Structure 1
Amino acid sequence: MSVEDFGLPKLWLLRHGETEWSKSGQYTGLTDLPLTAEGEDQAREAKSTLGGVDFGLVLTSPLQRARTTAALAGFPDATVEPNAVEWDYGDYEGIRSADIRKENPDYLIWTHGVPHGETLDDVSARADRVVERALNSEVENVLVVAHGHFCRILTARWLGLAPIEGRHFLLGTAKACRLGWDKRTPAVEAWGL
């Protein structure tokens, strides 16, 4: 029996193209930065990866870097999904984790979090709502255009893992992945497309 026999959707994720802060390694949560020229080129290149797929639902974070990526990748009419916004990094917005580790060598966002921002559980709850929307979509393929940390947490939640396990899923700018099924078990079908 195939996945289609069960009527289970595939969830595709596309991280936004490069911004000045993603290039420099700065935490970019709710700061609404545009894509760089390279990021725009990356988004256009993503169109060849996703172009042959019939998406019944395309969702995008409300932030311009994701919306622009969606449009340049061939989805100008993507539906804005507020739950797909990036982690609110609070006091660490615009700061590089390498700089934080100069004062706290053991620092990892996955275990230490961010002061005055969202908790990992907060982001996970939003990811769960996006997973639920995809599962209830009644379409074969759903695309979510979003952000690095959010996509990683969303992947963990799709797989039924604790949100901290998102730390194992690196996703470069304007790279895609396909989450699907091994029979009825959620699985990663393709990564870093």
Structure 2
Amino acid sequence: MTILYLVRHGETEWSRSGRHTSITDLDLTERGVEQATSLRTRLDPADFGLVLASPRLRARRTAALAGFEDVEVEEDLAEWYYGDLEGLTSDQIRDAHPGWRIWFNGCPRGESAHDVRARLTRVVTRVRASGVDQAICFAHGHSLRVLALCWLDFPLIFGQGFPLEVASVSILGHEKESAAILRWNA
């Protein structure tokens, strides 16, 4: 069974300030470059039979700086589309929408939870069908959390309990016959 590594991109200006970033194509900060480069000591590209990255610059650049030259861009790994919430912090969103949580309320004029789950389920299906021992996905905080929930077949509302740090590595696999999280935010 395939083991799947999840790598969240390094720091950007907006991730540092807590702004929701989906389609805005930001580059890494200097600190983000350092974080991504440091992944070289923890990840060996030769260990992975399938290497996928979100189409966004921050994810592709993290992969490259981590030493992954041969990356396939996978559109389905793009971040949850935030619609009207793009560029806003959670506090700003809650000023206009008290009690807002993406897992429960979604995004006005953005992508629905159903659509996000459908596309990340396609990634899970692809990884499992690949037959490789290890695969790796470079992407974003919300999309990788949804990917993990799809791997586990958990409801999306559980995503609130799985925060992901920038430049973190998480590992999905199996415990006996059950899908499992082997490491989170390592």
Structure 1 pair 53–98 and aligned structure 2 pair: CA distance change class (3 A): farther
Q: Is structure 2 residue 120 aligned with structure 1 residue 127?
A: yes
**2:175 aligned partner:** 182
Q: Structure 1 residue aligned with 2:142, among 149, 155, 167?
A: 149
| 1:190 alignment partner AA | R
Query: Are 2:70 and 1:77 equivalent residues in the alignment?
Result: yes
Residues 18, 89 of structure 2: 8 Å contact kept: yes
Q: SS of the residue aligned with 2:7?
A: strand
Which segment is superposed worse, 34-43 or 97-106?
97-106
Question: 50-59 or 142-151, which moves further after superposition?
Answer: 50-59
Q: Which residue of 1 aligns with 2:85?
A: 92
Deviations 1:56-90 (A, max 9, x none): 01000011000000000110211100100001100
Q: Map 1:1-193 to 2 at 5 A.
A: 8-51=1-44, 54-193=47-186
Which secondary structure state, in structure 1, belongs to the residue aligned with residue 123 of structure 2? helix
Per the alignment, in what secondary structure is the counterpart of residue 192 of structure 1? Answer: coil
Deviation digits for residues 79-113 of structure 1 (CA, Å, limit 9, x no counterpart): 10010000110000001111111233311111111
Is there any run of 5+ residues in structure 2 with no aligned partner, and where?
none
Contact kept in structure 2, 1:34 and 1:64, CA below 8 Å = yes
Cα distance in 2 between the residues matched to 1:104 and 1:32: 26
Q: Contact conserved, 1:60 with 1:145, CA < 8 A, in 2? A: yes
What secondary structure does 2:172 align onto? strand
Deviations 1:6-36 (A, max 9, x none): xx10011000000000000000001100000
1:9–1:135 contact (8 Å) kept in structure 2: yes
CA–CA separation in structure 2 for the residues paired with 1:166 and 1:70:
24
What does residue 5 of structure 1 align with? Answer: none
Q: Distance in 1 between matches of 2:24 and 2:45?
A: 32
Instruction: Tell me the TM-score normalized by structure 1.
Output: 0.93
Deviation at 1:52, TM superposition (A): 7.7
Q: Distance in 1 between matches of 2:60 and 2:30?
A: 15
CA–CA distance in structure 1, aligned partners of residues 60 and 50 of structure 2? 15
Aligned partner of 1:4 in structure 2 is: none
